[in-house]
Amino acid sequence: MIKMKLIIVACGGGIATSATVATKINDKLRELKLSSKAKVEAVDIKSLDTHISTADLYVSITPMAKKSKEYSIPTVNGISFLTGVGSEDTMNQIVELLDLK
Amino acid sequence: MEVLANIFQSILDMGAAVFLPIVLTIIGIIVGLKPAKSFSSGLTLGVAFIGISLVIDFMGTTVGTASQEFVTNLGIQLNALDMGWAPALGLAWTWRYAFLMFPVQIGLNILLLIIGWTATLNVDMWNVANKIFTAYIVASVTGNAIIGFAVAIIQIIAELKNADATKNQLQELTGIPGVSMPHPMFLSNIIFYPISRLLDKVPFMRKTVNVETLQEKIGIFGETHVMGFIIGTLVGLFGGQGIQSLMTGVQAGAALTLFPMVSKLFMTALTPISDAANNYIKKKFPGRDLVIGLDWPILAGNSEIWVAIIFTIPVALGLSLILPENIVLPFGNLMNVCVCAAAFISCKGNLKKMLFISWIMVPILLWSASSFAPMLTQLAIDNGTSLPDGQLMAWWGMDISEIRWAIVEALQGNIFGYIGVVGLAILSFFYFKWQKEEEHNAGVRMGIIDSK
């Protein structure tokens, strides 16, 4: 059996915004029949370093105009899941980066 | 007929955990979700209510009991424990009229879009709870739910207006075009922004500090469970528990870790519904440039916010022990975002100014939390939480504490409440005038507005 890929989304408390995005990505994975290959979890950004070490992909919803941090796993900008504009493209990017198909 | 009425009454009597999943399932089907999906979402909401009730129970009996020993030992009067924003807003959904706020917010937002009073479509459904909370506390003191909704409607309009008035500045900070932030916390900037301007006159305040290195030094102390453990252990030690305090520490860490886990279920339950509603609205406004209103965490990558929050914790704990008339021990909301994230915008990330504002807000947050504690405790009890005798639950660091407090006091005929409301109105006038200037400047810096 292949190990399930873990995607994480972080926000201020791991409660509201990140959970919204996690639910949306999980739904899309289900639509694409990929929910057995990957799952998404909402986490607390204050413990991000701990979660990064066990995850395969980080969906960031905290963009910075000037400085951006480097992480040890691939990172995708997930703002489109909040605004609803361009979320299909972001989803394709996630599927590709994790090699789910 | 009578049988039906009886069944209906029994379901209502069982409370939000049974009643609201049914409501949500029906709403889901109305907005076009598949019945199975709708039922699953609805049931998730019920699970979230039971979860919240369990964790508040746990917190009341473990950390709550320890904090009672702590207060008797120190001879102070702190019988209300701060449970933080997540369970407080979660409980707001259990209010009898809570779900009516959905159509009120969405309907009002659409109306304002049509008449051109706002450019923002608020898609942040979690913070509908923030309006419910306002309506609930107003209804509690006036005994009239309609007045509660009236105040909530003013809040909705003010939030959208404020979101419109700051969207260029937000774009400059985050780099995302076409979004704004209608979160209520940013209404506090009506007060914070003038303070920030005043502080600019002090040369010491103008100098910025490097926060990245500061945040690295703080490290694990900023993590929720570690923070809970430290506070819990301290409470235990001062409460005379001896080595047993370590257990209180771990329990406190557990309470703070478990809260997000159950609270995120609210969003899992509400997201499909809000998605369907938003798609519906967007279809109604084809071709129109809508600014999408989001919750605050798109700012959460800025270290200044977290550093300011952490450096406020000792002030909050220290003041809670000595401030007259305070009954609240800050705990669940020690990582208090609502002041620092708002001040981050007003102060443009200047840490010294943010700390100044955050510190002077501490007593106001304590007094307002003390004043609202009995109402919040009532909600928790109505949701089936059983608390030890004399134990109250509170929310320290409530969003727009100062504004809600002024309004509630004014509605009860308190003269200071009137002064507060009038003061706010005057400040709002200047605030929105200054924001026009700020927006123009931000637009020019980004090159989206001509400099002339």
For B98-120, the three-class secondary structure string (H helix, E strand, C coil) is: HHHHHHHHHHHHHHHHHCCCCCE
Nearest CB partner across the interface for A16, out of B279, B295, B335: B295
Asked if residue B220 belongs to a domain, the reply is yes
Residues forming beta bridges with residue A9, ordered by sequence position = A42, A59
Cβ distance of A84 and B123 shorter than 8 Å: yes
User: Among A24, A87, A12, which Cα is nearest to B338's?
Assistant: A12
Residue B270, domain member (yes or no): yes
Residue B267: list chain A partners with CB under 8 A. 15-16, 19-20, 23, 42
**Residue B306 C-alpha, separation from nearest chain A C-alpha, in angstroms:** 9
pLDDT digits (tens, 9 = 90+) for B409-443: 999 999 999 999 999 999 999 999 999 999 999 99
Distance CA B344, CA B352 (A): 11
Sign of the C-alpha dihedral, residues B117, B121, B127, B133? Answer: positive
What are the mean pLDDT values of chain A's consecutive 10-residue runs (101 residues total)? 86 87 93 92 90 94 72 91 88 93 78
In sequence order, the 6+-apart residues with CB closer than 8 A to the CB of A58 are: A7, A8, A9, A10, A52, A71, A73, A74, A75, A76
**B2 band by pLDDT with thresholds 50, 70 and 90:** confident
Minimal Cβ distance to A19: which of B267, B292, B299: B267
Q: Residue A77 belongs to what H/E stretch?
A: strand A75-77
The residue among B33, B171, B271 with the most chain A CBs within 10 A of its CB, best to mutate, is B271
* Cβ atoms of B178 and B291 closer than 8 Å: yes
Which of the residues A21, A24, A41, A82 would you substitute to probe the B interface, choosing the one with the greatest number of B C-beta atoms within 10 Å?
A82
Q: What is the DSSP letter of B61?
A: I
Nearest to A83 among B178, B297, B300 (CB): B178
3-state secondary structure B195-208: HHHHHCCCHHHHCC
Pairing of the two strands B291-293 and A57-60: unpaired
| DSSP annotation string for B176-235 | -TTEE---GGGGGHHHHHHHHHHHTTSHHHHS---HHHHHHHHGGGGSHHHHHHHHHHHH
- Residue matched to tokens 């009038």: B422
Q: Which of B47, B295, B348 to mutate to test the interface with A (most CBs of A within 10 A)?
A: B295
- SS3 of residue B5 by DSSP: helix
Asked whether residue B452 is domain-assigned, the answer is no
In this complex, the residue of A12, A23, A63 whose CB is nearest that of residue B175 is: A63
The Cα B231–Cα B57 span in angstroms is: 19
Q: Which single residue is written with the structure tokens 């509630």?
A: B408
Residue type, B147: I
- What are the tens digits of pLDDT across the range B239-283? 888 999 999 999 999 988 888 888 888 888 888 877 877 777 777
B65-114 pLDDT, tens digit each = 888 888 788 888 888 999 988 889 988 988 989 989 988 998 999 999 98
User: Which pLDDT score is estimated for B383?
Assistant: 82
The pair of three-digit structure tokens given for residue B13, joined into one six-digit string: 């009597």
User: Which H or E element spans position B432?
Assistant: helix B415-446
How many domains is chain B built from? 1
Neighbours of B96 (CB within 10 A): 13
Contact B282 A15 (CB under 8 A): no
Q: Is residue B172 part of a domain?
A: yes
Residue B436 forms part of a structural domain: yes
Which residues, listed in sequence order, are joined to residue B406 by a DSSP beta bridge?
A: none
With DSSP H G I counted as helix, E B as strand and the rest as coil, what are the percentages for chain A, rounded to 5?
40, 20, 40
* Structure-token match 């109306």, residue found: B111
Closest residue in chain B to residue A13, using alpha carbons only: B260
CB contact under 8 A, B297 and A69: no
Cβ contacts (< 8 Å) between B176 and chain A: which residues?
Answer: 63, 79, 83
User: pTM of this prediction?
Assistant: 0.86
- Are A62 and B223 a contacting pair at CB < 8 A? no
Q: What is the span of the domain harbouring residue B98?
A: 2-446
Give chain B positions within 8 Å (CB) of A81.
none
**What is the percent of chain B where pLDDT is above 90?**
50
Decide if pLDDT at B140 tops 90: yes
Mutate to test the interface with B, among A8, A20, A31, A66 (most CBs of B within 10 A): A20
Q: Please answer yes or no on whether A60 and B292 come within 8 Å at the CB atom.
A: no
Q: Give the SS3 label for residue A8.
A: strand
For residues B130 and B187, the answer to whether their CB atoms sit within 8 Å is no
Architecture per CATH, domain A5-97, reads as 3-Layer(aba) Sandwich (3.40)
Q: Cβ of B301: how many Cβ atoms within 10 Å?
A: 22
Per-residue model confidence (pLDDT) at position B405: 95
* Secondary element (H or E) of residue B288: none
Closest C-alpha to B317, from B82, B58, B148: B82
Q: Name B279's Cβ contacts closer than 8 Å, sequence gap at least 6.
A: A84
* Top-confidence residue, B131 or B71: B131
pLDDT of residue B16: 78
User: What is the CB neighbour count within 10 angstroms for residue B22?
Assistant: 15
By CA distance, what is A80's nearest residue in B? B176
With 80 as the cut, is the pLDDT of residue B212 above it? no
User: Pick from B123, B175, B341: which is nearest to A65 by CB?
Assistant: B175
Residue B360 lies in a domain: yes
d(CA B263, CA B332): 13
CA angle B24, B380, B255 (to 5 degrees): 95
- Chain B residues lying within 8 Å of A79, measured CB to CB: 176, 179, 298
CB contacts, 8 Å: A60 with chain B: 301
- In the A/B pair of chains, how many CB contacts fall below 8 A? 122
pLDDT band of residue B312 (cuts 50, 70, 90) is: very high
* Within-domain flag for B451: no
The residue that leads in pLDDT, B160 or B212, is B160
Across the interface, whether the CB atoms of A84 and B282 are under 8 A apart is answered yes
CB-closest option in B85, B264, B282 to A19: B264
Cα dist. B223→A12, B195, B335, B336, B450 in Å? 11, 30, 9, 13, 44
Report residue B1's pLDDT band, with 50, 70 and 90 as the boundaries.
low
Tell me the mean pLDDT in the region B111-118.
92
